[in-house]
Structure 1
Amino acid sequence: MKRLAVGPMTTPEYNEWWVKRINELEIIKQDFEWRNVELKKKIEQIEEEKMNLRLDADV
C-alpha cells in the first residue's frame, strides 16, 4: 500500500495511527478468511450428509 507524503499528515502520531489501522485491517481480513474456511467446511459436510440421506432413501 502506497502512501503519499504530504506535509502535516506525516507526523509520528499519524504514522502510528496508520500502522495500527493497517494491523486492524489485517486482523479483520484474517478473521474473515478463517470464518470463510469454516463455512466452506460446514457446506461440504452438509452436502455430504445430504448425499448420504439420498442414498438411504433410495435403498
Structure 2
Amino acid sequence: MKRLAVGPMTTPRYNEWWVRRLNDNIPKPSQGNSQSMEEHLWVVPSELEIIRQDFERRNAELEKKMEQMEEENMNLRLDMDVQKLKAK
C-alpha cells in the first residue's frame, strides 16, 4: 500500500490513525494457541534422520564401552606385571 505524504496535510492525528491502521493488519497469534513460535515451526524428522540419530547414539555408547574395556585391560596387564614381579 502506498502512502502519500503531503507536508502540511499530515497531522499527528492522521499519523496515529495510519500507524493503528497498519498495525491492525498484522495478524496476531490467537489466545487459544499456546504453542510458541519455535514449537509451531518445529519440523518432524524423517525416518532416515531418526535412524541416523539412533545409530549415532548407539555408536557413542559402544565407543564409551570400548574405552572402559581398554582401560580395564590396561589395569589387568599392570596387575599381571605386578604379580610377575612379586613371583620373582
State the one-letter code of the partner of 2:68.
E
The question of 1:44 aligning with 2:44 is answered no
Larger-gyration structure (1/2): 2
Q: Please, which runs of 5 or more residues in structure 2 have no aligned partner? A: 1-43
State the one-letter code of the partner of 1:37.
E
Question: How many residues align structurally?
Answer: 46
Map Cα deviations across residues 11-53 of structure 1 (whole Å, 9 max, x no partner): xx8x611111000000011011000000000000000000000
Q: How does 1:1-40 map to 2 (within 5 A)?
A: 16-40=46-70
State the one-letter code of the partner of 1:20.
I
Partner of 2:87: 57
Q: Please, which runs of 5 or more residues in structure 1 have no aligned partner? A: 1-12
TM-score scaled by structure 2?
A: 0.48
TM-score scaled by structure 1?
A: 0.71
Whole-Å separation in 2 of the counterparts to 1:37 and 1:57: 30
Higher helix share: 1
Identity %: 9
Partner SS, residue 46 of structure 2 = helix
